[in-house]
Amino acid sequence: MDVKLQLEGAESNLEMGSLGDRSMHEFEDDSLFTPEAESEKIQRVHGLQNGSVSGDFPSSGNKILQNSVCRSIKTVVFSNKLNLLMPFGPLAIMVHNLTGHKGWVFFLSLLGITPLAERLGYATEQLTFFTGATVGGLLNATFGNATELIISIYALKSGMIRVVQLSLLGSILSNMLLVLGCAFFCGGLICCKKEQVFNKASAVVNSGLLLMAVMGLVFPAVLHYTHTEVHFGKSELALSRFSSCIMLVAYGAYLFFQLRGQTELYVPLSEDENQTGNDADHGGNHDDNEAPEISKWESLIWLAIMTAWISILSQYVVDAIEGASASWNIPISFISVILLPIVGNAAEHASAIMFAMKDKLDISLGVAIGSSTQISMFGIPFCVVIGWIMGRPMDLNFQLFETATLFITVIVVAFFLQEGTSNYFKGLMLILCYLIVAASFFVHEDPTPDDNQVKT
């Protein structure tokens, strides 16, 4: 009897325990729909989107991560028709391994680099949403010049010093005449009913830096051609290395002045106009609604991927330059000054035109003129120092014809920028000037046949 009563008590306890468990489960299920649980769920989803996958929901976290990756690839790779040229990069490597035809390898490599350079500019533009206008222009110029610097380092490693000099010179000419000219021309056509304005103070500072770079290139060339060196063959190289160090210091001071010094000089005029009451026409509010298409970390990852792929193709471009010149019967100077910079400046070209058409001319100037300033005051001296480290006698003697071309270009562009205004006619003049420069290098040949070899 006692045993029976104990069994019945145990069963009742089990039933009460199961009911208690069921009520607890039901309470937990009900608590999932409370506001606190909903907010926790939203925070967990946001955490997944930011890259922190929670261990509580591995399957949903993986799905969100996969969707984020697919969305990023779709946005960056499949959103631009120019990316149809991307397969030409692997095709160039295949042609190099199978046939070794230098002309086709060079041509296909250039086609493969073109969309990569443009996407590099796109990723940089997305990154500028998370930075200020000044830092954004600096980032555009820096990553826009990544292609030229990578090609130059590979060429310097191969001992093709003349190709390094000409490609860097061509990048400056392309940015100052072609890129800036197209930006002025397209912006002037879109805003034809008014004259576009930009910050004249910033343009004057950049023009002064470009003139300083010209001075750094003129003296070694004059020293060489007047035969007034104290130590023949050595004074020119020593002067170039000393001047390069001075130019690097000047560029570092310029960055400090731009980012930490008198930053009010670099405030775009469009921002001032929006703050002083031009909001009535709703033209300035349109840009405020723009939002980045990819996140900051996605932009950084894509920048790393594009830079790595460009560096791979740049090696094939450098190796095929001389063969392409021989097979196409085109001077190496024309290939280095015109063709390589046009491909390398695809990022600046697209960015400058886009910002000019949005009446953001200060950013266009920061991309075009800022890129020229960076190449002349940082890129060229940096290659001289890198050549010094590698044991390559890279100097600042760019020959008389090339130095004179750069000097005249800087003077012409400085005159166009002195008023602080732009229109489509100024852009057309700059484009026509670039066509004259291109034709000049097409008929120009270096005075000595061994300029493309390692200097002894």
How does pLDDT run across 132-175, given as a tens digit for each residue?
A: 666 766 776 677 677 778 888 888 988 889 989 998 999 899 99
Task: Give burial (CB, 10 Å; 0-12/13-18/19+) of 330.
Answer: middle
Residue 181 CA to residue 188 CA, distance in Å, equals 10
> What are the extents of the domains in the chain?
79-263+293-443
What confidence score (pLDDT) does residue 371 get?
84
Residue 110 burial (CB count, 10 A): 24
Instruction: Using alpha carbons only, give the angle 93, 97, 103 rounded to the nearest 5 degrees.
Output: 70
Judge: domain 79-263+293-443, CATH 1.20.1420.30. Answer: yes
Mean pLDDT of 189-196: 82
What confidence score (pLDDT) does residue 70 get?
86
Q: Is the pLDDT of residue 21 over 60?
A: no
Tell me the pLDDT tens digit for each residue of 235-246: 889 999 999 999
- Which range is most confident: 326-340, 358-372, 384-398? 384-398
Mean pLDDT of 93-98: 90
Average per-residue pLDDT for the chain: 78
Query: 69, 63, 119, 59: which is closest to 89 by C-alpha?
Result: 119
Collapse the DSSP code of 454 into the 3-class scheme (helix H, G, I; strand E, B; otherwise coil) and give the result.
Answer: coil
Residue 203 CA to residue 60 CA, distance in Å, equals 52
What confidence score (pLDDT) does residue 256 get?
83
Q: What band does 202 get if pLDDT is binned at 50, 70 and 90?
A: confident
What confidence score (pLDDT) does residue 46 get?
46
Q: Is the pLDDT of residue 407 over 60?
A: yes
Query: 188, 187, 190, 177: which is closest to 431 by C-alpha?
Result: 177
Collapse the DSSP code of 5 into the 3-class scheme (helix H, G, I; strand E, B; otherwise coil) and give the result.
Answer: helix
Continuous segment of H or E residues that includes residue 246: helix 235-259
Q: Do residues 302 and 295 make contact, with C-beta atoms less than 8 angstroms apart? A: no
* Residues forming beta bridges with residue 320, ordered by sequence position: none
Instruction: Using alpha carbons only, give the angle 143, 435, 83 rounded to the nearest 5 degrees.
Output: 40
